Amino acid sequence: MTQIYGHRGAKGEAPENTLTSFQQCLGHGVRSCELDLHLSADNELMVIHDLTLKRTTGRRGKVVEHPAADLVTYDARKGGPGWVQPCPIPRLEELFEKCPFEHWQLEVKSASRTRAATTVLAIREMAQRFDLLDKVTITSSSREVLGAAQELVPDISRGLVAEYAWLDPLKVAQNYGCELLALNWTLCSPSGWSRPSARDCTCRCGQSTSRR
């Protein structure tokens, strides 16, 4: 079965990872989404792809250096498709409140062991609060993040993001009990998915030209 996900919302039409982008995605009838998470300076879950603010907001510094109250005032339209109205960086909480997706892929970027633990625990608390535990998958290319998710929030499904061929994504996914593989399209081949270890995983293949 083919399932369509809005990658950072409808990022080809609206500024990526903003409320506007996810609402645009829903407007097209796409009921599942993928988004990226970083912690703010005060440990709130913020929806933004890059470690730094420059590409999407033009501001200096890292996401983790700014409190959430400031981040939600930063316009994230820079470098994206033209959009008339400002599109601030959203909290994950705002998207959970306003976007009725049927499934959420929450990609957590590389983090230290402490921040990985803080992030996955915050995701679980929020997903439980919004009754979304069965609609959320924590994905990451970071073994620290996947290890923290496996140990601390085992009731939330996990997924491996694999961009490169230097590792065997099936083995890594199996080691962390992942139910989903988000693969660069160059890693997808029919022979790979005939292996017995692939039968318990859902695969999402996509072409990514962005930095991970």
Residue 176 lies in a domain: no
Cα(101)–Cα(178) distance, rounded to whole angstroms?
A: 21
Mean pLDDT for all residues in the chain? 90
**C-alpha span between 133 and 29 (Å, rounded):** 22
Domain housing 49: 5-167
Over residues 103-148, the pLDDT tens digits come to 999 999 878 999 999 999 999 999 999 999 999 999 999 999 999 9
Pairing of strands 103-108, 136-140: parallel
Q: What is the mean pLDDT of residues 54-66?
A: 97
Pair of tokens at residue 99: 């976007």
The per-residue pLDDT for range 68-87, each reduced to its tens digit, is 999 999 999 999 998 999 99
pLDDT given at position 208: 38
When pLDDT is averaged across residues 15-25 and rounded to a whole number, the result is 98
Confirm whether 64 is domain-assigned. Answer: yes
Is 141 part of any domain? yes
The verdict on residue 204 lying in a domain is: no
Domain count, the chain: 1
CATH assignment at residue 70:
3.20.20.190
**CA-to-CA distance for 124 and 153, rounded, in angstroms?**
7
Q: What is the pLDDT of residue 176?
A: 97
In a domain, residue 191? The reply is no
The confidence score (pLDDT) of residue 201 equals 54
- Cα angle 32, 36, 37; round to 5: 125
| Residue 194 in domain | no
pLDDT > 70? residue 24: yes
